[in-house]
Amino acid sequence: MSWELVFFAVFSAAMLLTGIGVVALENPVHSAISLVGCFINVAALFVMLGAEFLGVLQIIIYTGAVLVLVLFTIMLVDPNKLPAFYVGKPMQRNVSAIVGAILMVELGVAIVTRVALEQIGPHTNAMVDQMGGNVQAIGQVMLSEYALAFEVASLVLTVGVVGAVVVGLPNRLGALDTVTMSLGHSRGAEDAIAAGPKFESPMNIPAERYVAPVGERKVVMTKDPDKYTHPGETSK
Amino acid sequence: MTVHLENPDWGMVLPQLIVLVAAIVVSLLDAFLPKERHFTVITGVTLAGFGAAIVAQLSQRGETGTTFHGLFQLDGLTVFLNLVILVAAVLTVLISASYVEYLDSKMGTGEFYTLLTFAVFGAMLTASAGDMVMLYVGIELTSIATYILTAFAKRRTTALEGAFKYFLLGLFASAILLYGMSWIYGSTGSTGLNEISASLTAALTGSEPNAGMILGMLLVIVGFSFKLAAVPFHFWTPDAYDGAPTPVTGYMSVIPKAAAAVAMIRILVQGLESLADDWTMVLAVLAFVTMLFGNIVAISQTDVKRMLAYSSIAHTGYMIAGIAAFRLIDGMAGERSISSVLYYLIAYTFMNIGAFAIVVWVQHRGDGTTLGDFAGLASRSPLAALAMTVFLVSLMGIPPTIGFYAKYYVIVALLESNLLWLAMTIVMASAISAYFYLRVVAVMYFQEKSEDTTGRPIVASPLLNLGIGVMVVGVLALGLFSSPIINLANDWTNLFSVAALAMGR
């Protein structure tokens, strides 16, 4: 048994365990830390496959940036106010388990059949070596073949920043109130009308029809259309 | 080690470049202009940018080619769709000008127009994408800008709810779309649409398509159906359309939908046309459900804005029916189907933005958007009521409006590819839709408003009035003189079927 196999076994076992930990641990902070472990092991596997660049990116982007952000967010939230994680109905849980399993099997089949059919993409080891290494190969493809998409992706980020400013700028927020919503149901017409008249221009709202919203603005997710609340009421 | 860098053909991307420059200039002007000249200058620059792009796009008529390593392609479809998108963008600026001006003290004119221009840029890139990566990036650019525009009226909780739903479900749709694209990439070994087509044709000679290919195709269809708001992927639509500021609703019912429709045409017709027998079947079922659901649920709506949201779901159904008519039996049938969808898009642009423009107009006079607010509109303003009637009659599909010709072309395409049942469904769905469209007309002409609204302050909206005028003329004139447009729409599909015939199919 070669050392490579031993390392592979160790890293993938650790990856699977920490991956299960992400969904199985009750404390969200523990989940997030478990996810860190999972990502580091994935990076180790990338390095073992000879894709050092992807491994480094995995550490810098996912572990370094995304996960730290997630941890910050979790720590800013009062843990007692977090929603319970296991609120799904048994059927929903079963369905998602089945769908997840199907997707995983599909991925497995895809990988196995490609290897079995020996249909490997253009970037074989020899090809990558010829280009001078991983970083060079990725850089070349990004800035030659996919240059336009690469540039437009930066515009997408720009729009995202502008949008974050528009939506998040507090001094441009008006009065605050609480909303509940359900992703699976659209608010009925009657509910929408009760939620207030849709005046677009502030000046035009006749005083008698305008109810000043009060309280803190939050969007609360519900699973049940009956739990919709309107501005002004706390719950139904 | 050699790096193959291609010098891009900048002339080919000129219209897109103009719009991009306009977006950047608008966002900078926002920072540097004095407050009092803000609105006039920024609106002017945006309109000038779109106008210049239209001129540049018109000058590219009949040209073809690819650049940026095939990521960007210029052909008849690009030109036509970009023209539709730019016209819709100009109309959006016209109908949103007074709204934005009104909110200028609170919310940024600059932000609104920057986001709008970027969204238009993304949609134009989607229309000219020759590669799945480009299609995805273009669609995302449009979608992200649209999520934010939906949340623009942050004062209202319905706006927050709508934007939130649109955002989460949109992300979900993007993930499904990407998953499907990676399956297609995995099965064909390329992201370029022409390469996919070639590799697929080679792989399919004498053998069945493999399961991965079909799965990729289905996932891509699901992803685009979310973006197009087709049933059963429409959950976000009523709330997002309802919550967004009304001018934005007009915009988002057309530009992102046109982008998603063209992306679907690009992938399915240009990339996966060898699988046409499979995807036309899926799309036909999707179109059937979408048309019936949208029209039937619209009946129970008492709010004109929500009614128009469901009606736009129904219209998505008509468009998908047009794509479903695609057949490669002979060159003619396939060509008819895609050009009918393109014509439908331009018809939809005029009549749908028009209908929302009247809702904006009513809101500017201090009213809400329920049927009660539309009561007696004819006695308050005969012209506005008349314009609304024209738009609704066109949405219903009654001659001589553009809506009739749009449905007519779709039905002809369907009949040519032997989808009689789908053609019948379109007719039936239109008959159902007559109820809720005509109800608004009846309310406007034969009911009196319950409260007295005279003397309420109104918002001056010269650009909105101009826009409504343009759209009324467009709805009537483009229908009567439809042959140049349908010929232009045929440009790409002609090329396409010639190429398909040359490949021996």
Q: pLDDT confidence of A32, banded at 50, 70, 90?
A: confident
Gap between the Cα atoms of A180 and A44, Å rounded: 43
- Pick the most confident of A48-57, A83-92, B129-138, B488-497: B129-138
Of B151, B155, B236, the CB nearest to A174: B155
Cβ of B157 within 8 Å of Cβ of A186? The answer is no
Last residue of a domain, one of A151, A166, A181: A166
Same domain? A20 vs A80: yes
Cβ-proximal residues to B392 (8 Å cutoff; 6+ apart), any chain: B355, B437, B438, B440, B441
Cβ-proximal residues to B477 (8 Å cutoff; 6+ apart), any chain: none
Same domain? A61 vs A1: yes
Cβ of B306 within 8 Å of Cβ of A203? The answer is no
Please tell me if residue A130 touches chain B, with a CB cutoff of 8 Å.
yes
Same domain? A15 vs A82: yes
Is residue A180 assigned to a domain?
A: no
Q: Inform me whether the pLDDT recorded for B197 exceeds 50.
A: yes
Please tell me if residue A217 touches chain B, with a CB cutoff of 8 Å.
yes
The pair phi, psi for residue B74, each rounded to 5°, is: -115, 120
Is residue A211 assigned to a domain?
A: no
Q: pLDDT confidence of A231, banded at 50, 70, 90?
A: very low
The total domain count for chain A is 2
Chain A partners of B141 at a C-beta cutoff of 8 Å?
152, 155-156, 159
Gap between the Cα atoms of B136 and B127, Å rounded: 11
Per the structure block, which two tokens stand in for B94? 């016209």
Can you give the residue range of the structural domain that contains A5? 1-86
Chain A partners of B152 at a C-beta cutoff of 8 Å?
166
Chain B partners of A145 at a C-beta cutoff of 8 Å?
69, 71
Chain A CA closest to residue B460: A201
Gap between the Cα atoms of B440 and B203, Å rounded: 54
Cβ of B103 within 8 Å of Cβ of A201? The answer is yes
Last residue of a domain, one of A86, A105, A122: A86
Q: H helices then E strands: how many in chain B?
A: 21, 2
Is residue A225 assigned to a domain?
A: no
- Based on C-alpha coordinates, what's the Rg of chain A? 25
Helical spans, DSSP H, in A65-89: 67-76
Q: How many CA atoms lie within 13 A of B372 on its CB side?
A: 7
Chain A partners of B108 at a C-beta cutoff of 8 Å?
166
Q: Give the DSSP letter of residue A197.
A: -
- pLDDT at residue A165, as a whole number: 81
Please tell me if residue A136 touches chain B, with a CB cutoff of 8 Å.
yes
Q: pLDDT confidence of A170, banded at 50, 70, 90?
A: low
A174-211 per-position pLDDT tens digit = 444 445 566 666 665 455 555 554 444 433 444 444 44
B268-302 per-position pLDDT tens digit = 988 888 888 889 999 999 999 999 999 999 998 88
The DSSP-derived string for B355-377 is: HHHHHHHHHHTT--SBHHHHTTH
- pLDDT at residue A217, as a whole number: 43
Q: Inform me whether the pLDDT recorded for B453 exceeds 80.
A: no
Is residue A71 assigned to a domain?
A: yes
Per the structure block, which two tokens stand in for A23? 């969904």
Buried b (16+ CB within 10 A) or exposed e, B434-446: eebbebbbebbbe
Q: Inform me whether the pLDDT recorded for B488 exceeds 80.
A: no
Gap between the Cα atoms of B382 and B260, Å rounded: 37
What ipTM was reported for this prediction? 0.85
CA-angle at B178, arms to B175 and B179, nearest 5°: 85
Cβ of A189 within 8 Å of Cβ of B99? The answer is no
Same domain? A7 vs A81: yes
Of A144, A172, A204, the CB nearest to B3: A144
Please tell me if residue A77 touches chain B, with a CB cutoff of 8 Å.
no
B338-361 per-position pLDDT tens digit = 888 999 999 999 999 999 999 988
Cβ-proximal residues to B249 (8 Å cutoff; 6+ apart), any chain: B241, B242, B305, B308, B309, B356, B359
- pLDDT at residue B126, as a whole number: 94
Cis ω before B232 (30° cut-off from 0) = yes
Gap between the Cα atoms of B46 and B23, Å rounded: 8
Is residue A1 assigned to a domain?
A: yes
Those of residues 159-188 in A touching chain B at CB distance below 8 A are 159-160, 162-163, 165-167, 172-175, 177-179, 181, 183-187
Q: How many CA atoms lie within 13 A of B263 on its CB side?
A: 36
- Three-class DSSP labels, B151-199: CCCCCCHHHHHHHHHHHHHHHHHHHHHHHHHHHHHHHHCCCEHHHHHHH
Q: How many CB atoms lie within 10 A of CB A87?
A: 9
- pLDDT at residue B307, as a whole number: 93
Round the average pLDDT of chain A to a whole number and report it. 72
Those of residues 6-45 in A touching chain B at CB distance below 8 A are none
Instruction: Calculate how close chain B gets to A174, using CA atoms only, in Å.
Output: 5
Q: Inform me whether the pLDDT recorded for B422 exceeds 50.
A: yes
Q: Give the DSSP letter of residue B65.
A: E
Same domain? A68 vs A4: yes
Chain B partners of A119 at a C-beta cutoff of 8 Å?
189
CB-based burial label for B35 (10 Å; 0-12, 13-18, 19+): exposed
Gap between the Cα atoms of B123 and B81, Å rounded: 9
Interchain CB contacts (distance < 8 Å): A and B: 190
Is residue A39 assigned to a domain?
A: yes
- Output the pTM of the full model: 0.84
CA-angle at B86, arms to B480 and B156, nearest 5°: 105
Q: pLDDT confidence of A234, banded at 50, 70, 90?
A: very low
Chain B partners of A140 at a C-beta cutoff of 8 Å?
3
Cβ of B140 within 8 Å of Cβ of A185? The answer is no
Same domain? A66 vs A3: yes
Chain A CA closest to residue B119: A159
Q: pLDDT confidence of A222, banded at 50, 70, 90?
A: low
Same domain? A76 vs A2: yes
Cβ-proximal residues to B278 (8 Å cutoff; 6+ apart), any chain: B209, B214, B217
Is residue A108 assigned to a domain?
A: no
Amino acid residing at B482: S
Cβ of B106 within 8 Å of Cβ of A172? The answer is yes
Cβ of A159 within 8 Å of Cβ of B131? The answer is no
Could you tell me which of B271, B229, B230, B54 has the C-alpha nearest to residue B143?
B229
Cβ-proximal residues to B331 (8 Å cutoff; 6+ apart), any chain: B497, B498, B500, B501
- pLDDT at residue A183, as a whole number: 63
Chain A partners of B239 at a C-beta cutoff of 8 Å?
181, 186-187, 192
CATH number at residue A44: 1.20.120.1200
Last residue of a domain, one of A86, A121, A147: A86
Could you tell me which of B332, B239, B320, B247 has the C-alpha nearest to residue B283?
B320
Would you say A192 and B240 are in contact if contact means Cβ atoms under 8 Å apart?
no
Average pLDDT over residues A17-28: 86
Average pLDDT over residues B312-332: 82
Please tell me if residue A149 touches chain B, with a CB cutoff of 8 Å.
yes
Cβ of A201 within 8 Å of Cβ of B164? The answer is no
Could you tell me which of A124, A106, A108 has the C-alpha nearest to residue B213?
A106
Those of residues 186-215 in A touching chain B at CB distance below 8 A are 186-187, 189-190, 192-193, 195-206, 213
Same domain? A13 vs A77: yes
Cβ of A166 within 8 Å of Cβ of B459? The answer is no
Average pLDDT over residues B406-430: 91
Same domain? A18 vs A78: yes
Is residue A197 assigned to a domain?
A: no
